[in-house]
């Protein structure tokens, strides 16, 4: 690869990409990102997670850049409120129609997120645990009860949990209802979860806003991902990189395929692209160490 000295914008997905399977950022990846930031490159997280589920990693990397949450439906700067907070949610009435469709099919559960608040139709300890909710914590941002009654505003996104035999039926219903204004993705086996968002937004749309802000051209944008919610971002980036553990569709679309998330795939590609040393045994500066 050709080493380019110009400033790059590097967008990195979290789950299955930067994070290992135990949801951690490896020391190798941290070192690589800190080095690139010190060289003047811009690193942003672009994740399907909400702010509450990603801000820990943002601070762990010592970032001072905008954060792309909820697959692009939320774009904000955690450390600079003047930067703006962009929210492109689903229409409330549309959301209620979707909830009613789930009720008619006796879906196992329905979740609606409004920024960092979570509305869950029926309590599920696995879902609650994923969102960091504790039963005795008095977390008012986690509301359990019939969403049709509890939800009062436009949701950032929705997660639908149909019976596996009803996945196709619900997918077709979503297409019939509002194909022109909503986008939905089936998480597939073994989850049988359908994610629903405003069709106007995805990770690439949010990344374009970030790129415009920093005046970084498309050819100097590097993006990493592994799943269907990364397709638009990988296609948009001049340097789209699929992880070794990515779905086949993303690998076919990406310009490059790197190692898996368990093999420091993000750091490995960046080391190759920028001609850097990947070895974790290499001495680092005190400033770098303080950021790890």
Measured distance CA(226)–CA(234) in Å, rounded: 9
Number of neighbouring beta carbons within 10 Å of residue 288: 16
Active-site annotation holder among 13, 15, 183, 226: 13
253 and 235 in contact (C-beta within 8 Å)?
yes
**Does the active-site annotation cover 13?**
yes
Measured distance CA(202)–CA(208) in Å, rounded: 10
Alpha helices for 26-152 (secondary structure H)? 27-38, 55-60, 92-104, 125-130, 147-150
Q: Which two tokens stand for residue 34?
A: 């800190």
Backbone phi and psi for residue 18, each to the nearest 5 degrees, phi listed first: -80, -35
224 and 12 in contact (C-beta within 8 Å)?
yes
Count how many Cα atoms sit within 13 Å of the Cα of residue 169 in the half-sphere of its side chain. Answer: 13
Taking the alpha carbons of 178, 250, 112, 170 in that order, is the dihedral positive or negative? positive
166 and 105 in contact (C-beta within 8 Å)?
yes
* 9-12 β-sheet, strand order: 42-45, 9-12, 221-225, 239-242, 256-257
Long-range (24+ apart) CB contacts under 8 A made by 19-26 are 19/57, 19/261, 20/261, 20/262, 21/261, 21/262, 25/57, 25/60, 25/61, 26/264, 26/267
Place of tokens 């960046």: 270
Positions marked catalytic: 13
């Amino acid at each position: 690869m050709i080493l380019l000295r110009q400033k790059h914008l590097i967008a990195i997905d979290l789950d299955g990409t930067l994070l290992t399977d135990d949801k951690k950022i490896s020391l190798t990846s941290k070192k690589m990102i800190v080095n690139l930031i010190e060289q003047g490159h811009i690193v942003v997280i672009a994740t399907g997670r909400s702010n509450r589920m990603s801000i820990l990693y943002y601070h762990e990397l010592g970032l001072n850049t905008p954060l792309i949450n909820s697959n692009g439906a939320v774009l904000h700067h955690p450390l600079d409120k003047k930067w703006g907070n962009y929210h492109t949610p689903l229409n409330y009435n549309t959301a209620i129609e979707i909830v009613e469709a789930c009720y008619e099919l006796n879906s196992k559960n329905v979740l609606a997120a409004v920024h960092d608040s979570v509305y869950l139709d029926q309590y599920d300890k696995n879902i609650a645990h994923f969102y960091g909710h504790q039963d005795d914590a008095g977390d008012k941002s986690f509301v359990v009860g019939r969403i049709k009654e509890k939800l009062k505003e436009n949701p950032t996104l929705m997660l639908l949990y149909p019976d596996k035999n009803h996945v196709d039926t619900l997918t077709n219903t979503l297409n019939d209802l509002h194909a022109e204004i909503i986008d939905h993705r089936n998480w597939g086996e073994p989850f049988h979860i359908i994610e629903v968002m405003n069709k106007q937004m995805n990770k690439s749309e949010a990344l374009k806003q970030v790129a415009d802000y920093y005046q970084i051209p498309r050819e100097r944008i590097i993006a990493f991902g592994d799943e269907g919610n990364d397709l638009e971002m990988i296609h948009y980036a001049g340097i789209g990189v699929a992880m070794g553990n990515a779905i086949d569709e993303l690998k076919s679309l990406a310009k490059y395929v790197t190692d898996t998330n368990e093999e420091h795939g993000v750091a490995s590609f960046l080391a190759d692209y920028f001609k850097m040393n990947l070895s974790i045994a290499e001495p680092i500066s005190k400033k770098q160490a303080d950021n790890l």
